[in-house]
Every structure is written in structure tokens, then in C-alpha cells.
A and B are shown apart, each in its own frame.
Chain A
């Protein structure tokens, strides 16, 4: 669904997010032209399989046009360009409602982790099809008894000759129903403390013994899944990084995840974005109310500040400084921003936010956005976990006492209090 450009939008986006160097004008023009030609139209009413086909077709076309994996190494299928080109593409892409969600876990988390920790063979095999959207990835971390405390996971991988045999259950796995591969954390040694006995694996999601069951979230949709592993056999070269080094690999991926979530461009169609709430206020004749204007201004300030912070992180990264734990700031601020936007939406729309006529797509989208807001404060590490990370790693505050740090996993009570 596209909304007409408002004067306000032109005005406050005038600077874009960066001053692109002259060299990228050609790149930007190429991106703009590609998007104008290839961005798919609205997908409402299409079934999931059709939506997936459209998404894959778009991703492949964008990849072939040199617009995916812009900053990724050319050796593994990327374009080897700079953050300035990525930024130019992101800015152009923000004008469209692109079907890229299904590739986010691969692009934002699994791919970067493979680049950091994978072998040359793994990178050469998996990264190019990941970028082209030919193979979709998911992340298999959380379990029913291991959410914030991921390291207490109980899915086991046992060595059997040249192979590993996996048994257990994962949950909250976004996109597992579409995924071809997953990055799996499994316990490979229950006799050492919990952080030391974990290994990360590449799992072919089409392997025998992998069962994916959709799980409905509180919006009523089923964007994620439960995944069961019953005697799933993995080859020895499926290990990412070191055997027993899974916690380091997990931290690497979680770091990418926070930057990816926090730094992701908010879709222009997000009903809770400032521009769209301004439009809502106009449509509902509330734009002259001083209280509405007051809250909208405040919302804008926070939305813009987060965007500027993300730009600053990118500029620091270009200058060679890793964002480190500062990705947690973007993630936490993004979650808090949504709550502010939900409040503002309620202020603007009042009781009309509570009910609508069948078929009112805009109202449906707003309802999904409101009901989906808690996810931002939970997924990818809850706000509480992010605050601990900020406090401990950025401010150097003492850690929470960890009573299980040096206890062999086998002796721990975890999650649902079962012992493995």
C-alpha cells in the first residue's frame, strides 16, 4: 500500500541519512531505476507460497543487478563496495515496500556469522546462494526452556563416527517453514559448564528427522515455528567454528542480530512510523490538536535520533570501529520507540483504534502493528537483557551473580527443571 508523499515527508527527509560521495550517484540512479522496474506490487490476498515465489524472484533480480550483498566480499558473491553504496540503496529501498523479510535472518545474522567464523569451503558453498535468495536461512537458538538464558539449551548433538546426531526442540524460529538451512546451537558436552559445551552447526532443514510446526503469535499470524529434531544426522563439516565454541559463535551472531534489528530501515509502510501517524492524524482531523502535535513532535525526535545514531554507528564502522555492544542501544531504543508510537496512535485515533469494518486493510495493518509491538521488546534478547549488556559491557558495571557459571550442565536445573 503506498501513501501519497506529504510535504512534511519531503521536508524532513531532505538530508537523507548521509551525504553520499559523488561517485555513488551512478549507483543510486541504478538502484532507483531497478527498484522502479522490479519492486513487486501489493501482496495482500496472495497465499504464502505465491508471496515466497515473488520474494525470491525479486531477491534474485536484485542480486543479479548487483544490489544485494553490497558491502559483502566479492570472493563470496558480494559486491565488495562501501557502506555509502549500501546506504544509498537502503534510502532508495525505503521508498518501496520490498518483500525482503524472509531473507533478513540470513542476510543480517547467519551470513555475517559464516563470514566471521566459517571455513573457506563453507563460505564459498553457502554465502552466494544465501545472498541471491536461492537458499533461505533460519536461526535455531531458542528453546522452550532457554530464551533469555540461551546457554541453558538442551538440544543435544552426539558424535557418531563421522557424523553428529541431533535430538531436541527449538522454538520461536522465524521463517523455518521457508528455510533451506539453519544455524543450530546444540549441546555437545553436558559434563562441562553450560557455556562451554555448546557447538554451532549448519543444518539442512530438508534432512530426515526435521519437523517444522507453525506457532501462532499474539497477532494471530504464524511467522515462526517450533522445530523438532529426531535423530537428525549432520556431517562433520557442518560445525561452524570450533566444537565446544558454540557460545562464542552465538555471541557473534547475536551481535549481528542486534545491529541488524536495531539498524534495519523501518519500512515506509509501517503504520507506526512517524510519517504515517501524521497522515493518520490528518485523516482523523486531529492534526490541529496541540496535544497530538506535541506527541508527534516528540515521536519524531526519537525516531530521528535513533536513525542518526544508526548512521553514526555505520560511520564509525567505516572508520574501523566495531559497534560491539552498542548494537544493543539501537535494539533497545527501537523497541522503546515502538511503544511511544503505539501510545501516539491511540492518542490520535481514540476508540476508532479498537474496531473497524471487515476489509479495512489499513486498520488491519495498524492492529497487527500494535499487537506485534511486544515482539520488539522480546525477540533477539529482551529489553532487560539488552540493558544488562549495555550496563555490563558499555558501562563496565559488575555482572549479575551467576550461580551456574562453573557447574557442569548435567547438574543444573534449567528451564522446565528437567535434567537432560
Chain B
């Protein structure tokens, strides 16, 4: 088990952080949040220039052949910056679905374009309503509504697990065949849309076990999202500690008051443990497949509530200024709450962990 980043991984971090500092400063994130929420130029820089969209993709499909530890590092940086790019949808969820399938043809066709950033793929993920697929005149069509699809607004391809007469199967549907209903979102930096399929032409994707694909993708998504949350937590701690050093009340910097200092110390304590857990989960994703489900459940249970607590404390410790629209604190607060619920509720996550522990 390796919980400490090596030299190369640290260099990757610096490269991504540098790029985001230049091209996704908070002002830019805000502008996009109030516009269409997607920075196509930044996406091209991350994919075509830095090549970080293909870290877990094998080299034969245009990827870097690195691993989940590296991808987690990138996600941390994206989470720190609240970067307005479809990384979670395309480079995590959809990439992981394709890699978990046995469909080498679809992999060869889609992955290189996803890695290079030309193609954005999304996954119809929410289980509240599951679309259905039927065979009509020798071809498959999908019907139904997929709720809350991450980056579904800009997806060129949608991957969907749909019910068929015999269980479920995975399909790909081209963007032009779906009707998109943009949703107002708690988190303005992460777009979610409902997708309607009405006899949408669909190509089946080959796998012997559709549910195993889903399970693996869910675990990897939990690891990825936790890494993103970790980055957000690190950023709000940094922001709040800096503020506590310069903001003076009652003749002293507020960081010298134990009431403030101790909240920040607790945040630091939570962050350091979350970091160790995320490094472990990413390591397990690469090197210990049998430990991945437990590691993924662990980080979900641990990291999401800690991140929300940190974001909420950040608003609180900034006082009135932290509650304003102008301050960044609310962006992290909204992202943290959304991420806490995106893959399932905290009690569901804990029940799943208890199941895995055979409690």
C-alpha cells in the first residue's frame, strides 16, 4: 500500500494546478456558472495538451496507461478549483463504463476521441427512473427518462443501462437522439439535466454482466468523487486559515481565538485522515481489486460529510462576508452538498459499508 505521492505524481499535481490557476481562476468559474457552465477551451487544454483525461485509459486507446492514483490527483485539483469541465462525466463515469465492458469495438471507437477531448460522453446514472430498451425491426431503441445526468447538457454520447425483456443491458445513444431538460441546480458549477429518450436509436454494448459493470463503475466513481471532495476540503481550509490570520476583531487576528482556531484544527484533522483514506482507495483501485468495494464505501462514508462540514464551517468562520454571493465559500458549500448526495445518501452509504463489513 502506498499512501504518499511519488515525485512524478507530485509533478502531475503541479502541472494541473498551474494550468487551472491560469485558466480557471475563481472569476472565470463564476462567469461560467452564470453562463453555460462549461469551459470548452479549458477542456481542450486538459485533454489535448495535458492528456489528463486518459490517465486510466490504456495506451492502445490513446490514453496514458497510468492509473487511479494519478486520476485522483487530477480530480483533487479540479475540486480545488471547481473547474467547469465534464471530467467526472466523461473521463470518469463514461470512461469507466467503457473500460468495464467487454466491447473492444466500442472502446476503440469512443475512447480515443474521449481522451482527446473531442467527444464528451455522459452516463445515465440515477436509478430513480431507469429507461427501457426494446428491439424494433432488428434494431434497438431506448425509451424513458434518465434523471440528473451529470454534464448531460453537452454530452455527444450517452451511455445508459436500460431494462430489456431479459434483465438489463448497456447501450450507447447519440446526443442528437435525446431531448435535454436543463435543471436548476443546487450547485451552479455542476450541470445536471434530465434526458428523455423517445424511441432513440441505440447501439448495444457488449458485456456478460451488466450489473457488475455498474458495481465497478459505482466504486470507481466513489473514489473519484471523494478525491474531488478532498481537493475542495483542502481549498476551503486554506482559504479560511488565511482569512483567520488577517481578519482582526477585538484587537486580535481571529485565528488567535480558540473558538476559531479549534474549528480549523478539527477541519485539518478531518482533512488529513480523509487524504490518507482517499490515497488508500485510489491505490486499491489500481492494485487491489478485491479491496476496492470496501475502500470505496469507506471513502464515501468518511469524506463526503467531512467535506460538507468543512464547507459549512468555512461560511461560518468567514462571518457575514462568507454568506455573500461575492465570496467563494458558497460555491464550495453547494458543491459539497451536491457531491454528498450524487451517488446515494449518507445513510445508504453507511448501510452499504455495514453490508461489506458483514455487520
Chain A interface residues toward B at CB < 8 A: 6-8, 11-12, 14-15, 17-19, 278, 281, 287, 290, 293-294, 296-298, 300-302, 304-306, 308-309, 311-312, 315-316, 319, 326, 329, 332-333, 336, 384, 386-388, 390-392, 394-401
Contacts and interface: CB of A to CB of B under 8 A. Distances in A.
B261 interface: yes
Interface in B258-278: 258, 260-262, 264-266, 268-269, 272-277
B352 to A, nearest CB: 8
A58 B95 CA distance: 55
Contacts of B8: none
A168 B317 CA distance: 44
Interface stretch (B64-72, B109-117, B188-196, B287-295): B287-295
Contacts of B1: 15, 17-19, 311
Interface stretch (B38-46, B81-89, B97-105, B249-257): B249-257
6 closest A-B pairs by beta carbon, nearest first, are A397-B255, A391-B261, A387-B265, A390-B265, A308-B276, A297-B350
B350 A308 contact: no
Given A312-B4, A391-B264, A329 B269 contact: yes
A319 B4 contact: yes
Interface of B: 1-4, 237, 241, 244-245, 252-253, 255-256, 258, 260-262, 264-266, 268-269, 272-277, 279-280, 284, 288, 290-291, 294, 298, 301-302, 347, 350-351, 353-354, 356-359
B255 A391 contact: yes
A294 B351 contact: yes
A316 B277 CA distance: 15
B265 A12 contact: no
17 contacts: A11-B294, A12-B357, A19-B1, A293-B350, A294-B350, A296-B357, A301-B298, A305-B273, A305-B277, A308-B277, A316-B4, A332-B265, A332-B269, A384-B258, A395-B241, A396-B245, A398-B252
B265 A315 contact: no
A388 B258 contact: yes
Given A298-B301, A308-B3, A308-B276, A293 B268 contact: no
A296 B2 contact: no
Nearest to A291: B347
B276 A300 contact: no
B272 A315 contact: no
Nearest to A314: B3
B4 to A, nearest CB: 5
Nearest to A319: B4
B359 A296 contact: yes
B10 to A, nearest CB: 12
Nearest to A7: B358
Contacts of B244: 397
A398 B255 contact: yes
A390 B354 contact: no
B256 to A, nearest CB: 4
A333 B273 CA distance: 9
A298 B358 CA distance: 14
Contacts of B358: 6-8, 11
B268 A392 contact: no
A297 B264 contact: no
Contacts of B4: 312, 315-316, 319
A308 B280 contact: yes
Contacts of A281: 359
Contacts of A319: 4
